[in-house]
Structure 1
C-alpha cells in the first residue's frame, strides 16, 4: 500500500493531539492538585473515592453523635454531683437534728434548711440538657416532677435515650429518674425520705429524725452508683471517639491517595509531556514545510 503525504500528516496530527491531551491532563492536575477531575479519568478510582467519602460522612456523624452523648453524660454527671452533695448535707443535718439536746426551735430552723434542699432536689430532678429533660426516659419534652412530688402524683418514663456511635452500635446516656429520686409513693425514695425528715423536725420527733439517717445513706449510695455508671459510659465514649477519629484519618488518607495528585510526579510528567509535545510540533513542522514547497513548485 502506498503511504501518501496525507496519511503521514493525519497520523502525525493524531499523535500530536494525543500528546496535547496528556499535556492538558497534567496541567489540569497541577492546577487542581487532584489526580481525578472527572469520572473518565479513573472510573475504578472514582468508585473507591465515593466509597471512602461515604465512610467519612458516616464516621463524622458517629463522631458528632458520640460528642453529643458525651456532653449529655458530662452534664448528667454534674447534676448527680449536686444531688450527692445535697444528700450529704441532709445527712449532716439529720445527725445534727437527731441529737437529744437540740431544742425544738433549732429543729425548726433545720427544717427550713431541709425544705430549701428539698426544693433544690426537685429542681435538679427537672434538669434539662439542650432543652431535654434528662430524668424522664424517652419523654424528654415532659417535665418529670411536680413542684411537690410527695403530694402530686407523677409517672416517669423508663425508656432509654440512645445515640448511635457506630454501625449497629448505640450508647444509652440517660439515668432513670425513678432510680435516683424514686417513683411516686415510694417511701424509700429521696423525696419521701426528705419530706418525712422535715415533718419529724417540725414535730420535734427525735426517733423520726434519726430514722432518716440510714434512709438518706441508702439514697446516697444509689446516687453514687448511678454516677459511677455514668463515668463508665464516659470512659467507653472516650475510647469510641478516639477510634472514630483514627478511622476518619485513615479513610481521608485513603481518599487522598485515590483522588489527590502526587505533585512531585505531576511536575515530572508535565515537563516530560511539554518536551514530547514540543518535539512533536517541531517534527511535524519539518515534514510539512518541504511538502508545501513541493506543492508550490
Structure 2
C-alpha cells in the first residue's frame, strides 16, 4: 500500500495535537489540583462531585442548626436553674413566715421578698436567645410571661401569654426534633381531688398559688378584708397561718417538681443533640474523604503522568522534525 507524504504529515499533526492536548490537561490538573475543571471533562464524575458538594453544604447547615439548638436548650436549662432557686427561696420564706416566731414587720418583709422572687422568675422565664424568647412556644418575638398585679399594684402572680406548641428543628435530612418551649406546661399541674365521693382531675395553677400566698399574708397582717375558703387566718394568729403555710409548701414542692420535670425534658433533648452532633461530624469526614478521592489530584502520580506525556510530546516533535526535513533530494540520492 502506497503511503503518501500528505498522509504522513496528517498523521503527525494528529498525533502531535493529541499529545499536546494530554500535556495541557495534565498542566491544568496540576495547577488547579482538581481532576476536572468543566463538565465536559468527565460528565459522570462532575455529577458525583456536585452531589457531594451539595451533601457537604447541607451537612454544614445541619451542623450549625444543631449547635444553635444546643446553645438554645443550654440557655433554657440555665434560666430554669434560676427559676428553681427562686422557688426554693419562696418555700423557705413561706416556712419562715409560718414558723410563729416572726413579728408583723418580719412577715411583711418576707412577703416583699416573695414578690421580688416572683418578678425574678418572670425575668428568668423571659430569657431570650439570639433575640428569640425561649419559653413562648412558637411565639418567640414577644415576652411570654408577665407579672400579675392587684388593684394595690402588688405582685400576685404570673401570666403566660405564649403559645401551647413547641418549636421543631431539622437536625438531619428528614429528621426533626421538638424543643420544649411551651412555658405554659410549668404554670399548671394536673392533680386528682375527691369531690362528692368521686375522684376528679383539676388543674392547679402556679399563678393562683402565688396570689393566695400574698393574700393570706395580707390577711394575717390585717391589710385586707377579703374572704377565702377555707376560712382565712385571724390577723396575728400564728397557729392558723401555719396551717396555710404547710399547704402552700406542699404545693410549692409540687410545682418545683414540675419545673424539674421540664428541665429533664430539656436535658434529654440536649443529649440527643449531642449524639446528632457527633454523627454530623462523622458524616462530614466521610463526605470530605469521598469528595477528595473524586476531585483532588494525587500530585505525585499526576506529575509522573505529566512527565511521561511530555516525553511522548517531545518524541513526537522530534520525529516530526525529521519528517518535515525530508525532500525529493533524499530520494534522488
Could you say if the C-alpha distance between residues 293 and 71 of structure 1 is closer, same or farther in structure 2, counting changes exceeding 3 Å? farther
| Alignment match, 2:311 | 275
In structure 2, the partner of 1:286 is 322
Counterparts of 1:221-236 in structure 2, within 5 Å, are 221-236=257-272
Q: 1:293 to 1:222 in 2, by over 3 A?
A: farther
Q: CA deviation at 1:240?
A: 0.2
* Alignment check: 8 A CA contact 2:118 2:157 kept: no
Counterpart in 1 of 2:26?
Answer: 26
* Segment of structure 1 superposing worse, 151-160 or 196-205: 151-160
| Aligned match of 1:68 | 68
Q: State the match for 2:128 in structure 1.
A: 128
Map of 2:177 onto structure 1: 171
Does the 8 A contact of 1:136 with 1:177 survive in 2?
A: yes
Name the count of aligned residue pairs.
295
**1:295 offset after TM fit, Å?**
10
Residue of structure 2 in register with 1:200 after alignment: 216
Return the alpha-carbon distance in structure 2 between the equivalents of residues 81 and 154 of structure 1. 19
C-alpha distance in 2, partners of 1:292/1:194? 117
4+ runs of 1 displaced by more than 6 Å?
A: none
Q: Given the alignment, which residue of 180, 184, 192 partners 2:186?
A: 180
Q: CA deviation at 1:270?
A: 0.8
Alignment of 1:238-257 (within 5 A): 238-257=274-293
Please give the secondary structure, in 2, of the residue aligned with 1:41. coil
Deviation string, structure 1 residues 16-58 (Cα, Å, up to 9, x no partner): 1100110111111111111111112211101111111111111
- How far apart are 1:151 and its partner, in Å? 7.0
Q: Does the CA contact (< 8 Å) of 1:75 and 1:129 recur in 2?
A: yes
List runs of 5+ in structure 1 lacking aligned partners: none
Query: Could you tell me how far apart the structure 2 residues matched to 1:153 and 1:107 are?
Result: 25
What residue in structure 1 maps to residue 95 of structure 2?
A: 95
CA distance in 1, matches of 2:213, 2:332: 121
Report the 3-state secondary structure (helix = DSSP H, G, I; strand = E; otherwise coil) of the residue aligned with 1:188: strand
Residue pair 1:135, 1:177 contacting (<8 A) in 2 also: yes
Distance 2:148 2:243 in 1: 25
Whether the 8 Å CA contact 2:170–2:177 is kept in 1: the answer is: yes
Distance of aligned partners of 1:139 and 1:79 in 2 relative to their CA distance in 1, 3 Å threshold: same
Determine the structure 2 residue equivalent to 1:159: 165
Which structure 2 segments of 5+ residues have no match? Answer: 150-155, 190-201, 221-240
The change in CA–CA distance for 1:187 and 1:174 in structure 2 (over 3 A counts) is closer
Q: Which residue of 1 aligns with 2:194?
A: none
Q: Distance in 2 between matches of 1:54 and 1:167?
A: 12
Residue in 1 aligned with 2:294? Answer: 258
Q: Compute the displacement of 1:244 (Å).
A: 0.9
Counterpart for residue 115 of structure 1: 115
Question: Whose RCO is larger (CA < 8 A, sep 6+)?
Answer: 1
Q: Which moved more, 1:150-159 or 1:84-93?
A: 150-159
Q: Aligned to 1:136, what secondary structure does the other structure show?
A: coil
Alignment of 1:208-219 (within 5 A): 208-219=244-255
Return the TM-score normalized by structure 1: 0.92
SS at match of 2:146: coil
Q: Distance in 2 between matches of 1:233 and 1:28?
A: 49
Q: Under a length normalisation based on structure 2, what TM-score does the superposition of the two structures give?
A: 0.83
Tell which deviates more after alignment, 197-206 or 150-159: 150-159
Secondary structure of the residue aligned to 2:177 is strand
